[in-house]
Chains A and B, each alone.
Chain A
Amino acid sequence: MNVDLYERIWMWGVGAMLAVFFGSTAAAAVMSQIHPPSHIETIDPRTALSDPRFKHQGVRVDASGRVHATVVGLMFTWMPTELILPADTPVTFHLTSPDVIHGFEIVRTNGQAMVVPGYVSQFTTQFAAGEYLVACNEYCGVGHHTMASRLKVVPKSQWQAPARETANVQ
């Protein structure tokens, strides 16, 4: 196939651009362990609200000192409706839904995950101090635009940590 010289140069250029994309994505994934939320765990949506994993929603600190937030999304609210978390501290979120699919989005952060009934979503991130809106970004019915909660992130020194658990629950 006879291809024009300029077009050849262009194609090599595009190839080089793709190599950069590949390399940077792979480097971020492998070296910095940056991955989208991809936790694999199932749960019966009919009993999710009484399941030991989700019966108590809110913030807890596990035996090794890590901070966890357990949130349930249901038509049309996030439970709990307010979370208070320490700044600049990795927080692991655990989410599920007993009804339809919701989208957990902490506005203007990279904290988000799809919340699919029958599954447990999980991601870990950290925040700068401030007050954040938590919206639902997956259409879930006629009240979708009202589904929201608040996240208050306070400086670590002002954060009243819940009592540390004695054994690792998860």
Chain B
Amino acid sequence: MSSEAIKPGLSTETPSRDTPRDEAAGNRLIRANIWVAVTAFGVAAAMAMMQAISRANLELPYRSASMYYMSVTAHGILMALVFTTFFIMGLGWAIAQKEIGAVPWRRAGWIAFWLAVAGVVMALATVFAFKSSVLYTFYPPLQAHPLFYIGLTLLVVGSWVWAGAMITAWRRSRAARGGRPVSLAMHATTANAMLWLLATLGVAAEMLLQLIPWSLGLVERVDPLLARTLFWFFGHPLVYFWILPAYTIWYAVLPREAGGKLFSEPLGRMVFALFLVFSTPVGFHHQFQDPGIPAGWKLLHTFNTMIISFPSMVTAFTIVASLEVAGRLRGGTGLFGWIRTLPWGNPVVSSVLLACLLFMVGGFGGSINAAYALNSVVHNTAWVTAHFHLTVGSAAALTFMGACYWLVPKVSGRDLELSLLAKVQPYLWFLGMALFSFTGHVAGLLGLPRRVFATSYGDAAQAHAWEWLTSISAIGGVVLFASAGFFVLVMVGTMLAGPRREQAPIQWAESLGTPSEGYASTVWDRLGLWFGVAVVLVVIAYAIPLYDLLHLTRYGSQGFKPF
């Protein structure tokens, strides 16, 4: 473990013990995480295109139902769990390194990295061997190979080390700054790490108490409803674990890249604290249609879910205001003239702007999913898939791509290679996602179930309405694959062959109207306190329904492997 001691009373900028050797070593860890993220993304994107084409009933070589469901499983694991987690860890390490001058817990960070990589390889090997086609939600009694569950658990354990390191960096920085708040980026990353530690308790319990012993044959039966409840305890905060790093980029990087300043930094601190508080006690809105959970508790989780739109709406204001500052500083005038003068040709900026646009649609769709009564119309339809391709698949993934264009040169000391592809790539993603997602929302409203290999249902009359939609969706899938391919080419090209050149260090966006003595810490900076509030809310939201569930006469299910 590194043991850099930060002297108290340090100012907000560059800390002392930051030697080039430390930084080079830290950058290696950051790059390793990004390599895994990019590789996972590339493989998953290729599978996604084949799925989109397959669902439109076009014949592909080796096309079969078992291939399709294996592919959906691999795509979900690689995108939702591997690409995101490794990118988020890489970004977190970079933020911590910038904050305190060196990556904290570097050796443990490498152990965590290899643990997580080994886990991913293990889990995916069983998927590609057709032994774990249980999709990334892995609901029992569908039963995967034991190494599938063990591998994913190792990924989570690796991420716990990362989360501990983030909290350590935050504590050191706080101590060093003596009453002044840490950077907004560090604040956000720490809130996310705390959120992750709380959320993953659910999936860890599901894995360790239910799925691993059951898949090994140590217990015969597990209760599928308890498993779903534990999964969604984890599954919804998981989406904030993806979104918060995207917001971090929107707050801390976008304004500077766009040529402006962050509009209201203090509110940004409130936003991340509120996410920490409200992201977990909401899981029942994924279980509206489940038996065994009383309606009243589902209603409580609905209200909690609605509250989370508050910090997102505050973010919408702050980001648009920051962009207006940028556009006007660049010479934009009039009511909307500032939009035109934003640097739309800079892929860091354009990818984030387009991600924000797609997220506005995704956010509204999400509030329909979470609506207590409306959910019955869209639950488990193509609407849901279309929705989360706008949130995790655009707001998070497209922002992460833009963030890679910004971060990878800094941590590799190389210029961006193939920068023309990088310029085009965000627009292709936007187009592809618009085609894929719009048609998916409509098909969902027309009742098309999600995750289906074929959509004809024995030539059922109602299924005809979906045909043209799945065809356009397949075109969207091809465009998305082109975009993903461009991104991977740019990343691999940059990391292997980009021209070596001194790069500007990471600098966070300046805040508009910062008082000359800097901001003072407020209650929103006390993340330990908000973590405590989050725990209390989780207990309120889950303790009684979980207690009641455990006291039902439950029978449990043996495993099934129908794939």
Contact bitstring A28-54, B, C-beta under 8 A = 1, else 0? 110000111111111111100000000
A144 at the interface (CB under 8 A from B): yes
User: Among B291, B373, B379, B450, which residue has its beta carbon within 8 angstroms of that of A112?
Assistant: B379
Whether A100 contacts B376 by the Cβ 8 Å rule is no
Closest to B142 in A: A100
Whether A29 contacts B314 by the Cβ 8 Å rule is no
Report B278-296 residues with CB < 8 Å from chain A CB: 287-295
Whether A45 contacts B379 by the Cβ 8 Å rule is no
A11 at the interface (CB under 8 A from B): yes
User: Among A2, A21, A39, A103, which residue has its beta carbon within 8 angstroms of that of B291?
Assistant: A39
Closest to A111 in B: B376
Supposing A15-B310, A143-B562 touch, asked if A36 and B289 sit within 8 A by C-beta, the answer is yes
Contact bitstring A101-121, B, C-beta under 8 A = 1, else 0? 101010110111110111111
Whether B225 contacts A7 by the Cβ 8 Å rule is no
Supposing A40-B294, A118-B225 touch, asked if A25 and B142 sit within 8 A by C-beta, the answer is no
Whether B141 contacts A25 by the Cβ 8 Å rule is no
Whether B453 contacts A113 by the Cβ 8 Å rule is no
A1 at the interface (CB under 8 A from B): yes
Whether A118 contacts B223 by the Cβ 8 Å rule is yes
Number of A-B contacts (CB under 8 A): 221
Whether B560 contacts A100 by the Cβ 8 Å rule is yes
Whether A14 contacts B313 by the Cβ 8 Å rule is yes
B531 at the interface (CB under 8 A from A): no
B520 to chain A, nearest CB (A): 10
Report B428-456 residues with CB < 8 Å from chain A CB: 446-447, 449-455
Whether B69 contacts A3 by the Cβ 8 Å rule is no
Q: A137 — which chain B residues lie within 8 A by C-beta?
A: 379-381, 449-450
User: Among A6, A112, A116, A138, which residue has its beta carbon within 8 angstroms of that of B376?
Assistant: A112
Can you spell out 13 A-B residue pairs with CB atoms less than 8 angstroms apart? A1-B267, A7-B264, A11-B313, A18-B310, A21-B306, A22-B306, A26-B299, A42-B554, A112-B376, A114-B291, A133-B457, A137-B381, A141-B560
Closest to B318 in A: A7
Looking at the complex, which of B460-468, B470-478, B492-500 is the stretch in contact with chain A? B460-468
Q: A39 — which chain B residues lie within 8 A by C-beta?
A: 291
Whether B69 contacts A11 by the Cβ 8 Å rule is no
B91 to chain A, nearest CB (A): 27
Measured between alpha carbons, how far is A102 from B398 in the docked complex, in Å?
33
Supposing A116-B228, A119-B291, A144-B452 touch, asked if A29 and B372 sit within 8 A by C-beta, the answer is yes
B302 at the interface (CB under 8 A from A): yes
A135 at the interface (CB under 8 A from B): yes
Supposing A113-B289, A119-B225 touch, asked if A42 and B453 sit within 8 A by C-beta, the answer is no
Measured between alpha carbons, how far is A1 from B299 in the docked complex, in Å?
33
Q: A103 — which chain B residues lie within 8 A by C-beta?
A: 289, 379-380, 449
B114 at the interface (CB under 8 A from A): no
Closest to B561 in A: A141
A79 at the interface (CB under 8 A from B): no
Whether A133 contacts B555 by the Cβ 8 Å rule is no
User: Among B225, B317, B375, B462, which residue has its beta carbon within 8 angstroms of that of A133?
Assistant: B462
B518 at the interface (CB under 8 A from A): no
Report A104-161 residues with CB < 8 Å from chain B CB: 105, 107-108, 110-114, 116-122, 131-133, 135-146, 148, 150
